[in-house]
Amino acid sequence: MSSEDVVWLQLDKPLTVEAIQQILGQLTTLRYQPNESHFGNLENAASKKEFISFAEITDYALGFGTEVPAEITRVMLLLLADFTAKHPVSNGAAIINRILEFYQFDVFPQVFTRGLFASPTAHALLPIFSQSKVYYQGYLLNAADVHDIFSWQPVIWPADFPASVQHISYLDLAVLVYTFIQFKQIRQYTQTLFAGNDYFLSAEEFFEEQTNNLATQIQAAIALPEEHTTYVSGLGMQLNKLLAKFGEHISDYFAEQGSSSPDYLIIKENFKINLNLLPGLLKPLTQKNLVLIEENSQPTLNSSFVFGSAPLMQTYAILKNLEQTVALATLLQLKPSQKKPESENFKNSSLANTYLNQVISVLKEANFADIIRQTVTFMYATCKTYNLVA
């Protein structure tokens, strides 16, 4: 592995949105490397900061309700490793390396969406120190047992762990980062799917500007989470509206497309779906997003948030609706009667086939293949309501 394939966690080096995207996509590896001033910073920190004990962090582990999806927990681990690297503690290297081992071997702490403000963070941290529960290979196990499986030496909670960790909503920040990264990938995918389409090109500048503005603000929240905690829910609201607007833009396009002759998609033997009826599935997805936005229309001050659900889990739900919208749009865009882009690149059938192959190659990526699979399941579940079967 070359040095370009490694992202280093260092005291003075910020973890970026782009780096997290590369790590999640398995294009780079995350490693920890203390700089030369690490121990000097450790002495300075001891005289300036308040600390939190293991008993205190354990008291926050009062989570309940639904569990946080593994893809969000993965990002929480990365952010907590970054926090520990930026706040030197006596055994910081051991803590960070154990967090990265969890990430590398797909050991995910059991985290809940409801509880005290610091409950998700506590549930994510405790397994690093052999407490609480984790998921490994699909099984919910005691964290101590997983340490035994890997013959990992116990990591001791340091007496100088910064108390500021309890004031940062790492669940909300992880949802924000993950959802934003997924939205960027969806936008990139739709640029291939709707290449040369004037309707989508006309709105590209708006979505590009909004995406760039959010990227700057989210990056600031990652770099200095203590200073931006109260703004995270506001950033989530911005992202909610952007996701919903993007989904509505896709839905409106297909609502305007009409066809007098039915086109059918063969899902499996003896089961075909009338593609002209699929736009009817787009509308309820758009409506769901509007309801979710309305439910979370007022910013929540994190300091007053007690025994509730993480506000940004609604952002994750809106993302899932957008993924289904994009999957349905893919099926509609590739149906036989759908006009292909009228740009210079698509004037003959050979280049049109090249376009289709480009879209299909993107669909082979794990994320989008899973989206399509889930959407087909979604269509099975709703076929009676929408009379999709010919």
For residues 55 and 153, state if they share a domain: yes
pLDDT tier for residue 360 given thresholds of 50, 70 and 90:
low
What's the half-sphere exposure (Cβ side, CA atoms, 13 Å) at 158? 19
The residue out of 137, 167, 197 marking a domain boundary is 167
User: What letters, b where the CB count within 10 A reaches 16 and e where it falls short, cover 173-206?
Assistant: bbbbbbbbbbbbbbbebbeebbbebeebeeeeee
Q: Judging by DSSP bridges, how do beta strands 139-142 and 264-268 pair with one another?
A: unpaired
Question: In terms of Cα–Cα distance, which of 208, 157, 218 is closest to 187?
Answer: 208
For residues 215 and 153, state if they share a domain: no
Q: What does pTM read for this prediction? A: 0.82
pLDDT at 78: 95
As a whole number, the mean pLDDT across the chain is: 79
User: What's the Cα-to-Cα distance from 180 to each of 213, 214, 235, 327, rounded to whole Å?
Assistant: 12, 8, 10, 18
For residues 139 and 272, state if they share a domain: no
pLDDT in tens, 70-114: 999 999 999 999 999 988 889 999 999 999 999 999 999 999 998
Cβ neighbors of 227 (< 8 A, separation 6 or more) are: none
Show the beta-strand stretches assigned E in 240-328: 264-268, 271-274, 308-309
Q: What is the CA radius of gyration of the chain?
A: 23
Is 85 in a helix, a strand, or coil?
A: helix
For residues 257 and 132, state if they share a domain: no
pLDDT at 240: 92
The residue out of 113, 135, 167 marking a domain boundary is 167
Calculated CA dihedral for residues 189, 193, 196, 197, nearest 10 degrees: -110
Structure tokens that stand for 283 in this block = 């509308």
For residues 269 and 222, state if they share a domain: yes
For residues 125 and 233, state if they share a domain: no
Question: In terms of Cα–Cα distance, which of 132, 133, 135, 20 is closest to 81?
Answer: 20
For residues 340 and 198, state if they share a domain: yes
For residues 224 and 85, state if they share a domain: no
Give the count of domains, the chain: 2
H/E stretch holding 136 reads strand 133-136
The arithmetic mean of pLDDT across residues 246-269, rounded, is 71
Cβ neighbors of 291 (< 8 A, separation 6 or more) are: none
Highest mean pLDDT (candidates 151-160, 271-280, 311-320): 151-160
pLDDT tier for residue 25 given thresholds of 50, 70 and 90:
confident
For residues 44 and 184, state if they share a domain: no
In which domain, by residue range, is 33 found? 3-167
H/E stretch holding 231 reads helix 225-256
The arithmetic mean of pLDDT across residues 38-46, rounded, is 45
For residues 264 and 239, state if they share a domain: yes
CATH number at residue 122: 1.10.275.10
The residue out of 152, 167, 182 marking a domain boundary is 167
Question: In terms of Cα–Cα distance, which of 191, 196, 192 is closest to 346?
Answer: 196
The arithmetic mean of pLDDT across residues 55-62, rounded, is 93
For residues 303 and 178, state if they share a domain: yes
pLDDT at 180: 96
pLDDT in tens, 107-165: 999 999 988 989 999 999 999 999 999 999 999 999 999 999 999 999 999 999 999 99
For residues 177 and 157, state if they share a domain: no
